[in-house]
Structure 1
Amino acid sequence: MFIKENNKYLTKKQNMLSNFATEFVTELFLDDNVSTMNRLIVATANVVNENFENVTCVNDILLKEYNQISPLASGRFVKSLREGRHFYEKIVKKFTDDEYIENFKMRKATVQALIMFLKEYVKPSSSIVPFDKKVHVFLWLLTSNYSFKEAGEKFGLHKSSISYIFHEIANLLSEQRYQFINWPSLEEQHVTRVKVNSRYGFPNCVGFIDACRLKVGSKRKMKDKPEFILLQAVCDETLMFTDIHVGEIGNTRKGKVFKESQLAHELKNFLDLDNHILGDSDYKLRRNLLTPFTSDELLTNEEMKFNEIHWKAHSYINQAFEILRGKFMKLNHIDISKPESITTLIYAACVLHNFILLHEGSPVKEEAVSNDEGITIDTNVVTTALEKRQFLCNYINYIQNLQY
């Protein structure tokens, strides 16, 4: 009964639209008054929009309550809707663990854990799209090069709905970033110090900093010169991000982005003189941020040995970025126009990166710890960043010579 009554109503609306169209065309040729034509165009647009919304609204109710689609609704959208429901309900939900890893870059159990976690932060809404489907839509887009339109055809949703869902889940993830991305505790710093020193022979290192360039902007409206944004991150020896900062679009200088980040102001409070993070030569040498030796002249053998070990240890952050961009293909070209939405998406991807590591473990192979000794730096002797780097250079070479 409900379906018949609504079909009669929609038929009546379509007849009204047809009569209105006839009157519009008649007046279009008989009246040269510009203002009248403008009013007619606006009125026509309103009627068309109202008619479309009525059909859409009824179809939403029919799909939710009766799993049917009104006979008045037809064409490509309805076909896509039916195919999309079939794709998610009949195919995606039955993916094996290997298929989840292939399509979503994480295990099925990890996706289910993500859904359960995010559900706690979802605000009540009237959306007829199930939350678990929303999360799958978001992950499908994040891990592929699909456009909103292509994803809509895949999942049976209009591209505007896909866009809304994508940004909704991205916001949810971004809002939880402080739960997953935190500066390591003293105990966690100690673990990193021990493992890095044991593996590479670089003492007192508690993290690694670098920045990767991400292409941003509309693919359809790309300028001759593409725009980029920098993601600055610090990771530990498990490749977990412990600090992230997104610079402004167009600013591709690591040093400038670092200065604008909160870390630049807080690093001296996070670490004492003994401890440090490692950065490449694009960063300015600091007492708690050690960079390689650079010189216009030839480096000494000791300095080259320091740089070699520094480079090997610093490679942790490059591995983290490779995994991030390898899993989340959307980051290779973020086809979004609003700067704040770009930043939100990057934060969301970094949260997901850590979430996956927490649930699936680090890809870095565990090694037996052979050297758990750190060093204590005498602040009466070593006071500047240059003095500290030279002190560590001498110490590393001394230990290397003992081993050989």
Structure 2
Amino acid sequence: MIQNSALKKIMNFDKEFIMELFLDDNVSNINRCVVAAANVMSENNENISCINEVIMKENVNQFLTIESKELVKNTQNLHSRNNFYENVVAKYTEELYVSKFKMKKTTVKALIDHLQEYMKPCSSVIPLDKKVHIFLWLLTSDSSFSAVAELFGLHKSSVSYIFHEFATLLSEQKYHFINWPSLEEQHVTRIKVNSRYGFPNCVGFINACRLKIKPKNTRKEKSDIMLLQAVCDETLMFFDIHIGEVGNTHKNRVYRESQLAHEIKNFIDFDNHILGNSEYKLRKNLITPFTSDNSLTSEELKFNEIHRKACTYIDHAFEILKDRFKKLDSIDINKPEAINSLICAACVLHNFVLLHEGSSYLKKEAVINDDGVTINPSIVKSAEDKRQFLCHYINYMDSS
């Protein structure tokens, strides 16, 4: 068998030498066979090279054709994404719209009209209504900035800017929509709560919900926790909020750090109070249930039962807030001021939606014209005295 190395050497011989091989009678037949085989191999190599060139050209043409089709397809997709809001979102049915944005079209229209007055003049080519819907899309879902940017045909940085712009803008609207109720409004709450649950002189309910913050360190398994403290009335509207620091999960400590703790006496008359669970410290204007290592009396148990039922208002308010704004389930923002703006903006929108739509949780009930009881501060001097007085009153009214 002829070795490749031998063939290469033969193929490199000049033409004159090859001619002598075939003309000289002294040259052996075996050498002539070797040269003939070399010529055949050379011709085959030339043919193979020619075929390879043809195949390569064909592959290049096919590749260019595929690339051209992909370019057209991607251009069409980009055009479709750029018009996603105009061609898809704007044409949602009312049912689909409410399912996605957790509020009616008329409510969002009112929000856009309201924000229009506070928008700073800018050169943005993105219309206000589109920006509001991008912000709401992020707030009402767990979608990332990248996913929403892809969907709306924008750069991730643009979507991030829109989100933080509107979170900041809405958080600045806090005192337009989150205010302590007037004396007249407190009076209405007293009547309605007493009429429904038989708990007198109650003007609000306080609690704090836990919010998860994704850690900056991706190797950290557990999320950080922060508390959102809020006070609501019987309409589930927040009229006071306070955002605790990350890692502070003690409700009473968060309360002490809030502005409410220092001003509650200015907001609520001695007769009145808000209700909070046993994680709060009992105060004259913040009534908590009885807790004891020993067994409670039947009167105290009755008080606790009515107290617990009345406090479901704030629990439902938090449920609505977190169900509507899924972004609060796991906040993927690192800067503390940005986190606070997001949470505050969600609370503002919570009130805004209730103002325009009300709540399906609230039922229309007949209101008994009973404004509660007058408490004499010369007799009832401490927080413990006040809770005991209320306990006796509730049991007396329940048995009568």
Could you report, residue by residue, the CA deviation over 1:74-118 in whole angstroms, capped at 9, with x for unpaired residues? 799866642222311111111121121111000000011101100
Within the alignment, does 1:367 sit opposite 2:383 as a pair?
no
Mark the CA change 1:196 to 1:221 in structure 2 (over 3 Å): closer, same or farther: same
Secondary structure of 2:162 counterpart? helix
Tell me how far apart the structure 1 counterparts of residues 98 and 125 of structure 2 sit (CA, whole Å): 27
Offset of 1:126 from its aligned partner? 1.1
State the match for 1:392 in structure 2.
390
State the match for 2:142 in structure 1.
145
Mean CA deviation greater in 276-285 or 373-382: 373-382
Tell me the TM-score normalised to structure 2 length: 0.80
Could you report, residue by residue, the CA deviation over 1:217-240 in whole angstroms, capped at 9, with x for unpaired residues? 258826123201100000000000
State the match for 2:375 in structure 1.
377
Could you report, residue by residue, the CA deviation over 1:335-372 in whole angstroms, capped at 9, with x for unpaired residues? 10101100000000000000000001133112111242
8 Å Cα contact 2:215-2:223 kept in structure 1? no
Matched positions, count: 330
Secondary structure of 1:399 counterpart? helix
Return the letter of the residue paired with 1:379: P
Within the alignment, does 1:159 sit opposite 2:156 as a pair?
yes
Return the letter of the residue paired with 2:375: I
Tell me the TM-score normalised to structure 1 length: 0.79
Mark the CA change 1:76 to 1:189 in structure 2 (over 3 Å): closer, same or farther: farther
Within the alignment, does 1:256 sit opposite 2:257 as a pair?
no
Mark the CA change 1:186 to 1:110 in structure 2 (over 3 Å): closer, same or farther: same
State the match for 1:271 in structure 2.
268
Tell me how far apart the structure 1 counterparts of residues 118 and 225 of structure 2 sit (CA, whole Å): 32
State the match for 1:289 in structure 2.
286
Q: Structure 2: 5+ residue runs without aligned partners?
A: 1-67
Return the letter of the residue paired with 1:353: H
Mean CA deviation greater in 104-113 or 80-89: 80-89
Return the letter of the residue paired with 1:184: P
Tell me how far apart the structure 2 counterparts of residues 215 and 222 of structure 1 sit (CA, whole Å): 16
8 Å Cα contact 1:207-1:234 kept in structure 2? yes
State the match for 1:191 in structure 2.
188
State the match for 1:244 in structure 2.
241
Sequence identity (%): 65
Could you report, residue by residue, the CA deviation over 1:314-355 in whole angstroms, capped at 9, with x for unpaired residues? 110000000000000000001101011000000000000000
Q: Structure 1: 5+ residue runs without aligned partners?
A: 1-70
Within the alignment, does 1:309 sit opposite 2:301 as a pair?
no
State the match for 2:18 in structure 1.
none
Mean CA deviation greater in 95-104 or 390-399: 95-104
8 Å Cα contact 1:217-1:336 kept in structure 2? yes
8 Å Cα contact 1:81-1:155 kept in structure 2? no
Tell me how far apart the structure 2 counterparts of residues 240 and 302 of structure 1 sit (CA, whole Å): 31
